Structure 1
Amino acid sequence: MRIANLSGRLVLVTDTGAVDVEEASNGTFGPDPSAVYRDWPEFLAWAGSAALPAGKPFDQAALGAPVPEPAQVFAIGLNYRGHAIESGLDFPVEPPVFTKFRSSLAGPCGDLALPGDTVDWEAELVVVIGREARHVSAEDAWQHVAGLTVGQDYSERTRQLVPPAPQFSLGKSFPGFAPIGPVVVTLDELDDPADLEIGCSVNGEQVQKARTGDLIFSVPVLIERLSAVLPLLPGDLIFTGTPSGVGSGRNPQRFLSAGDEIVTWAEGIGELRQRCVPGTPHTTASA
């Protein structure tokens, strides 16, 4: 099953196009793309047995973030060994966790306004929680996942690393800095949800490519560690970390400029596409 947000409405994407869920379910499920995760078991049961109508063709540009209003957004740092090495940091013994604020979420295609001249790219697999998880073991963790999508953890490095205390969440939460999509794909659609190719290109040049099987902390382990501290709620998002190849890890460093096009993909899910445009410059106060 491939779930999307088409012009603000919950749809299923099939071989023939988009099927409006509210219409197809005769109102059993509403149009809100985020609300469906609160009724995930019921929705799965309906979708598995429903005789869906033919889908309608749609414009990819009309797709929004497939989960536009999660209660919580978790992001994991240094979760690929290559990225830790290029960052000059030790491998973590616990998942480093920060957030991307919800207002940074965006759909899979569109403009990315650059608030400064040190904006970096970070391709990521994103987990969507389908069932509340509290003190869940890694062995049981996949049962709490609704599906997977693709994300970008765009980062304004100057704001992120301003001394004396880095501001990861602020530096990664400018408007449009968390595009996700184009769809949420349920696990049964993927040959191996634990090992997907993921990558990113800038102006057609491949800058990142890895497999999610190389994560230091796998999806089940992330759910285990996070749910040991606080409940993971239906519709929550987990950005699982980025592989090596970010601009700040290059010599010389490379950052995004107006006119650049970034394409991010994950095997079996789809791709994101952003075009960089000038934004409102940000300032940082001196201590």
Structure 2
Amino acid sequence: MSYVIPAVPVVSVPVVGRAETFPVRRIYCVGRNYVEHAKEMGFTGREAPFFFIKPADNALVVPQGQTGEMAYPPLTKDLHHEIELVACIGTGGRNIKAADAKKHIWGYAVGLDMTRRDLQGEQKKLGRPWEIGKAFEQAAPIGPIVPAAQAGDVENADIWVQVNGKDRQRSNVSKLIWNIGEIIEHISAAWELAPGDLIYTGTPEGVAAVGKGDTLVGGVTGLPELRVRVV
């Protein structure tokens, strides 16, 4: 097939121990999914889950052992880090039950939901969509994917991010308000999940600003660390 303009290349993520890579279709993100993070954002309780989507080309793919470079984005003076466990969908479907969700997960990775917090805040006050705060170039750094069978007990894994060697966020995935199975149940009721979808499952407390020259190192126990430098 020929096109009238050049086709956009497929974004894909390395897989630990494999030559093949994981092609990305969509990036779903879960908002305020750890209690303490919800509190620091001014909310409490187990509110109904809500989601936003980043384009696939927002991914900043960082191979294992390397440090990705993220350009400080325009229009913002308040770029925040949000460390997240990423569930990578291998088998799609609609109305997937939480009890069956693991069958649909191909693997897991460490991700960062980078946020132009000042722009997001402005849109919230006006009752407008968040895209300008959440969906921009390189807004979704991600490390290599580990197949689910090799990833260990991710639902009880420690999750953390350090900035310039100092802890910023540190928690445990078990503290998710809505667990991974429940997240998949809710998303698949609203959209049809498909192979290649990435689900950023939420971030714990401690989100804060980073600037040019800062190095972020994020991790989830059992998965390769994700290293990103802001330039």
Q: What TM-score bracket applies, with the shorter chain setting the length?
A: 0.7 to 0.9
Structure-2 residue corresponding to 1:265: 219
Is the contact between residue 9 and residue 20 of structure 1 (CA under 8 Å) also seen in structure 2?
A: no
CA distance in 1, matches of 2:129, 2:57: 17
Q: Structure 1: state its 5+ residue gaps.
A: 1-7, 22-32, 35-66, 248-254, 278-287
Letter in 2 for 1:110: G
Structure-2 residue corresponding to 1:129: 89
Deviates more, 1:89-98 or 1:263-272: 89-98
Structure-2 residue corresponding to 1:175: 137
CA distance in 1, matches of 2:53, 2:224: 24
Q: Which aligned pairs between 1:5-24 and structure 2 lie closer than 5 A?
A: 13-14=16-17, 20-21=19-20
Structure-2 residue corresponding to 1:194: 155
CA distance in 1, matches of 2:227, 2:14: 20
Q: 1:101 to 1:139 in 2, by over 3 A?
A: same
Letter in 1 for 2:61: G
CA distance in 1, matches of 2:98, 2:51: 18
Is the contact between residue 13 and residue 145 of structure 2 (CA under 8 Å) also seen in structure 1?
A: no
Return the offset for 1:13: 3.6
Matched, 1:209 2:170: yes
Letter in 2 for 1:90: T
User: What SS does structure 2 have at the residue aligned with 1:134?
Assistant: coil
Structure-1 residue corresponding to 2:8: none
Matched, 1:95 2:49: yes
- Aligned-residue sequence identity (percent) comes to 34
Taking only aligned residues, the RMSD between alpha carbons, in angstroms, comes to 1.9
Structure-2 residue corresponding to 1:218: 179
Q: 1:184 to 1:10 in 2, by over 3 A?
A: closer
Return the offset for 1:276: 1.3
Q: Structure 2: state its 5+ residue gaps.
A: 1-10
Letter in 1 for 2:230: C
| Matching residue within 164, 178, 187 for 2:126 | 164
CA distance in 2, matches of 1:123, 1:12: 20
CA distance in 1, matches of 2:120, 2:59: 18
Matched, 1:112 2:70: yes
CA distance in 2, matches of 1:137, 1:150: 24
Q: 1:257 to 1:271 in 2, by over 3 A?
A: same
Letter in 2 for 1:94: A
Return the offset for 1:231: 1.1
Q: 1:165 to 1:103 in 2, by over 3 A?
A: farther
CA distance in 2, matches of 1:210, 1:9: 28
Return the offset for 1:105: 0.7
- What count of residue pairs does the alignment treat as equivalent? 213
CA distance in 2, matches of 1:272, 1:73: 17
Q: 1:222 to 1:259 in 2, by over 3 A?
A: same
Q: Larger RCO: Structure 1 or Structure 2 (Cα < 8 Å, ≥ 6 residues apart)?
A: 2
Is the contact between residue 265 and residue 272 of structure 1 (CA under 8 Å) also seen in structure 2?
A: yes
CA distance in 2, matches of 1:195, 1:119: 29
Higher Rg: 1
Structure-2 residue corresponding to 1:76: 30
User: What SS does structure 2 have at the residue aligned with 1:99?
Assistant: strand
Q: 1:266 to 1:11 in 2, by over 3 A?
A: closer
Return the offset for 1:92: 4.0
Q: 1:199 to 1:132 in 2, by over 3 A?
A: same
Structure-1 residue corresponding to 2:110: 150
Q: TM-score with structure 2 length normalisation?
A: 0.86
Q: 1:211 to 1:237 in 2, by over 3 A?
A: same
CA distance in 2, matches of 1:153, 1:135: 26
User: What SS does structure 2 have at the residue aligned with 1:258?
Assistant: coil
